Amino acid sequence: MVDYIGVSDVTRLIQALGPGEFIERLAGEILADYRRWAEFEKSARLASHSAVGVIELMPTSDGRRYSFKYVNGHPKNTARGLLTVTAFGVLADVDTGYPLLLSELTVTTALRTAAMSALAARFLARPESRVMALIGNGAQSEFQAIAFHRMLGIREIRLFDVDPIASAKLERNLRTLAALEGLVVKRAASTSEACRGADIVTTVTADKRNAVILTPPMLAAGMHLNAVGGDCPGKTELHPDVLAMPDVRVIVEYEPQSRIEGEIQQVAADYPVTEFARIAAGETPGRRSPAEITVFDSVGFALEDFSALRFLHLLLEEERIERRRIDLVPRLEDPKDLFGGTLGAGGLRRRLRKSA
């Protein structure tokens, strides 16, 4: 039998811990895994693109555990009453090849993306950062707001989206957090207005196109840019001139993947970037000066999903939620007799025992 975590299980778990604590604990697991970067198999995700979206597989292994995530991105789905992004994942034992956990990852991916954003910002943003502009107020935005409030002490969030209904949704969902913890939430009339005076700018838009969300005049010395939405070929959020600014430094998760999918797909192949693992391990500093403009070119990497699945499995072991299991793999009296143990006499005996 294989452990199973569904959407209702994850929801109960997050409600029990609180989303802020869940995100912060998950960020700790991600950091621990980035600090053992050399142990992981690394490859760019396998993507199947269509005119309306993408379906991807994201595998990795540390030699003891193997994981993969199935994830899609279809921005036009919402017009059909469907989610833009859905996902599920598997954590498996390398020694036997047996799956240990099958889990939903739609909600969990939103949490791990926010955890990774805030984790990177701990190293890259100025320590006194308290104001964040949040450009793109769709499904990921609440998680980003909670993560930055919890992990960096952000006190004011400026919202902007070309769809005012999205901003109203985000403002409504953040109202409880604002009331309980003093978070100030303001609506801006434009991206420029939202960015003016902000310490951190998070862009998390969904359109599959080379968008121009941020331009050089919107930026100021010392800003940290958390560019989340540009996560597949032909999909970006920063004007190319942003990357050409003299004080800009770009940090990526896994360079070969980011060259294909990130903001840096817009620049030459020799454009200098720093992988986050080097910063996590202390091999190179995060922010190098108060005036530096740092860009976390985040496309999402399989290691982060590995961390999330490992964390969920750990919470199961801690009995934080009721354990559920499914018969994803046959249990045979004779492992050399698949037919007999499932369709033949052995399978019949088990069916009889269950019905007795």
Report the candidate in 1, 83, 77, 87 with the shortest Cα–Cα distance to residue 309: 87
- The pLDDT of residue 318 is 86
Dihedral Cα 167, 113, 305, 36, nearest 10 deg: 180
Dump pLDDT digits (tens) for 311-353.
999 999 888 788 999 999 999 989 999 988 888 865 555 555 6
Distance CA 101, CA 211 (A): 38
Share of the chain above pLDDT 70, in %: 95
Return the percent helix, strand and coil in the chain, to nearest 5. Answer: 40, 25, 35
- Choose the catalytic residue: 3, 62, 231, 305: 231
Q: Residue 4: is it exposed, middle or buried by C-beta count within 10 angstroms (0-12/13-18/19+)?
A: middle
Structure tokens given for 192: 């420029």
Report the candidate in 306, 272, 264 with the shortest Cα–Cα distance to residue 108: 306
pTM: 0.93
- The pLDDT of residue 321 is 81
Q: Say which residues have a Cβ less than 8 Å from residue 131's Cβ, sequence separation at least 6.
A: 154, 155, 156, 157, 158, 197, 198, 199, 200
Dump pLDDT digits (tens) for 24-75.
999 999 999 999 999 999 999 999 999 988 999 999 999 999 999 999 999 8
Q: Identify residue 334 by its one-letter amino acid code.
A: D
DSSP assignment of 70-121 equals EEEE-GGGGGGT--S--EEEEEEETTT--EEEEEE-HHHHHHHHHHHHHHHH
Mean pLDDT, the chain, whole residue set: 93
The conformation of residue 308, written as its DSSP 8-state character, comes to H
Dump pLDDT digits (tens) for 159-173.
999 999 999 999 999
Active site residue 231: yes
Distance CA 57, CA 249 (A): 29
Class of 2-107+304-332 per CATH? Answer: alpha beta
DSSP assignment of 20-88 equals HHHHHHHHHHHHHHHTTGGGS---PPEEEE-SS-EEEEEEEE-SSEEEEEEEEE-GGGGGGT--S--EE
Tally DSSP H helices, then E strands, for the chain. 13, 17
User: Does pLDDT of 142 surpass 80?
Assistant: yes
- The pLDDT of residue 210 is 77
Report the candidate in 130, 201, 101, 110 with the shortest Cα–Cα distance to residue 160: 201
Query: Under a CB-based contact definition with an 8 Å cutoff, are residues 218 and 192 in contact?
Result: yes
Query: Under a CB-based contact definition with an 8 Å cutoff, are residues 162 and 237 in contact?
Result: no
Q: Where are the domains of the chain?
A: 2-107+304-332, 115-300
Using 50, 70 and 90 to split pLDDT, how confident is the model at 180? low
Report the candidate in 34, 75, 80, 84 with the shortest Cα–Cα distance to residue 52: 75
Dump pLDDT digits (tens) for 204-254.
997 767 788 999 999 999 999 999 987 778 889 999 999 999 999 999 999
User: Does pLDDT of 21 surpass 60?
Assistant: yes
Report the SS3 class of residue 301: coil
Return the CATH architecture of domain 115-300: 3-Layer(aba) Sandwich (3.40)
Dump pLDDT digits (tens) for 82-95.
999 999 999 999 99
Using 50, 70 and 90 to split pLDDT, how confident is the model at 148? very high
User: Does pLDDT of 141 surpass 70?
Assistant: yes
Both ends of the chain: CA-CA distance in Å?
Answer: 21
Find the mean pLDDT for residues 119-125.
98
- The pLDDT of residue 298 is 96
